[in-house]
Amino acid sequence: MKTYNPARFLLLLCLPFLLSGCYSFSGVNLSQDVKTISITNFNNASGQGPSNLQQFITEDFKDYFQRNTTLRILPQGGDLQIEGQVLSYTFSPAAIQRSDIPTGGNIGLDQAGANRLTIVVQINYTDTKNPTNNFDQSFSGFADFPPSLDINQISQAQIRQITERIIYSVFTKTVANW
């Protein structure tokens, strides 16, 4: 017959608190003295894309960090600081294929088999508690679309799929340290 061990029960009860020092089970790896983050409004230096591109990228960054960390978001002066800008927003052929339609010399025409939208975002990251983590780096994401789809037909939801990949990469580099 097993006996009740109050010390074991107390250890099991306190174990989550002991393990929560610098690691959380969501994959975030932050020092205990880091409590806030500021994410400034992104600007669109590319001059391309939808008119609200910088606005929804900024809001998506804030939402992602708020959902996946316990950090409080401040307008400025956070323990962690992210500044960013869209460097490029390009739509170009991703796969060239030769059509079977002959032109004047019995050679088919080269045309896009797919088009690719690529977005590049420059991130300046500052960790006020540990400056060795600071960086200034560009991150990019892309998606391929059928050649029949014009750049003006790409939806905001499709653009967000690209920016979500960028946000995940930035998140991983800044607070997950993977």
Which residues touch 28 (CB under 8 Å, ≥6 apart)? 68, 69, 175, 176
pTM reported for the whole predicted model: 0.76
Domain-located, residue 18:
no
- Kindly report, residue by residue over 56-75, the tens digit of the pLDDT: 999 999 999 999 999 999 99
Domain-located, residue 43:
yes
Section 136-161 average pLDDT: 92
Number of domains in the chain: 1
CATH number of the domain residue 57 falls in = 3.30.160.150
Structure tokens at 18: 């002991």
Domain-located, residue 15:
no
Domain-located, residue 8:
no
Domain-located, residue 125:
yes
Section 13-23 average pLDDT: 41
According to DSSP H, which parts of the chain are helical? 6-19, 53-68, 156-171
- Kindly report, residue by residue over 25-57, the tens digit of the pLDDT: 346 778 899 999 999 999 999 999 999 999 999
Domain-located, residue 9:
no
Residue 99 structural domain: 23-175
